[in-house]
Amino acid sequence: MRSWSILFPDLEGLEGFLCSKGRPSIPEALDPWLEPPFVDAASGRLKGLFKERLLPEKLERAYFGVEFCQRLIPDGDSLRKAISMVREACLSFSFVTPPVTDSGIEELRSRFTLLERESGCSNGIEVVVNDWGTLRLIRKEFPGLQPVFGRMMNKMIRDPRVTPYYATSKAPPDGLLAVQQSSLSNPAFQRALLEWGVGRHEFDNLIQGLRLEPDGESALSVYIPYGYVATGRVCMPGSFGLPKALKFTEYMGCQKECQSYTLRLRNTQSPFTNRDLELIQRGNTIFYPHTLAMLEAVLEGESSSAVDRIVYQPNLPM
């Protein structure tokens, strides 16, 4: 049976959804969140698609946290409040974590201590890992938490400048098969993850489609309506106003400029045919919005019948 989850990177969004005045039903509470920014809603079909294909499924979990930047890891008080609110809403809880440095690992260690303490009161606290060091930390020190293999760990061909070519009838079948697969297409890799206690793998909803080959023991999730193209340690908005020598370095301070600025990226001189492509940059990460056709494919189960969880992002996950 398929279910869905909703992802909020900060306490404000989660609180706005779960603690609405009068505690409305889930469809009513979701209504303001069904028109995610930058996703084409010109046809008026977007909200209707979500109401028809997403809401009837069971809302099972709330995801809380960030995938892309360790400087945005929620503090302990925010995490404690988030767990409490999610528990009151009778939902399961998943804590999302980004790639981290040594200092980030220390931050996560303190959050995992809190999570493991709370896991006795909550059913199945998951940790979405996007860093091998984080997975090792959970295995060695926090066996009570359930690691989930995040979409950043799952290597796939994501470049939206190139992949639309493979979504057409002109694509060679062998080439299409190659770009629809991921690192998890390797059976030995799947077995290793199972040995390491990873029972769920998460994916982007790719323009060229997904070719998922589950091992029969692992569960699969897909994120909508944003995919990520690339990420890194350097943050463009964080460089605004800095002297040239300090721009685009890992040593610059962080004022959380990503929460105030979003960049829309276009290249009208692209050597590829889709010169009207618009990408979105927030903080250190570049995203692409899903088309209605992509959303219809995943919500109607056409992209892969093996997917048993949809992770819905009502806003850019930063």
pLDDT of residue 26: 59
* pLDDT tens profile 203-212: 988 888 777 7
* pLDDT tens profile 23-79: 445 556 666 667 787 776 545 677 777 777 777 778 889 999 999 999 999 999 999
**Range of weakest confidence among 17-26, 117-126, 206-215, 293-302:** 17-26
Greater confidence (270 vs 311) lies with 311
Q: Has residue 179 been placed in a domain?
A: yes
Number of domains composing the chain:
1
| Whole-number percent of the chain with pLDDT over 90 | 34
Q: Does residue 53 contact residue 300 with C-beta atoms inside 8 Å?
A: yes
Greater confidence (307 vs 223) lies with 223
Q: Does residue 196 contact residue 189 with C-beta atoms inside 8 Å?
A: no
Q: Has residue 265 been placed in a domain?
A: no
Q: Is pLDDT above 50 for 22?
A: no
Greater confidence (236 vs 272) lies with 236
Q: Does residue 64 contact residue 91 with C-beta atoms inside 8 Å?
A: no
For residues 289 and 40, give the distance between their C-alpha atoms in angstroms, rounded to a whole number. 8
Q: Has residue 103 been placed in a domain?
A: yes
Q: Has residue 236 been placed in a domain?
A: no
Q: Has residue 254 been placed in a domain?
A: no
Greater confidence (232 vs 164) lies with 232
Q: Is pLDDT above 80 for 80?
A: yes
Q: In this structure, what is the dihedral angle of CA atoms 115, 116, 118, 121, given to the nearest 10 degrees?
A: 140
- Segments forming the whole domain that contains residue 121: 3-228+290-312
What is the average per-residue pLDDT within 252-271? 80
Residue 75 contacts by C-beta under 8 Å, 6 or more apart in sequence? none
pLDDT of residue 30: 67
What is the average per-residue pLDDT within 277-283? 87
Q: Has residue 257 been placed in a domain?
A: no
| Cis-peptide into 214, omega within 30 deg | no
pLDDT of residue 148: 96
Q: Has residue 261 been placed in a domain?
A: no
Q: Has residue 146 been placed in a domain?
A: yes
Where residue 101 falls among pLDDT bands split at 50, 70, 90? very high
pLDDT of residue 21: 43
For residues 199 and 180, give the distance between their C-alpha atoms in angstroms, rounded to a whole number. 21
pLDDT of residue 302: 62
Domain CATH number, residue 174: 3.20.20
274: which 2 tokens? Answer: 């889709």
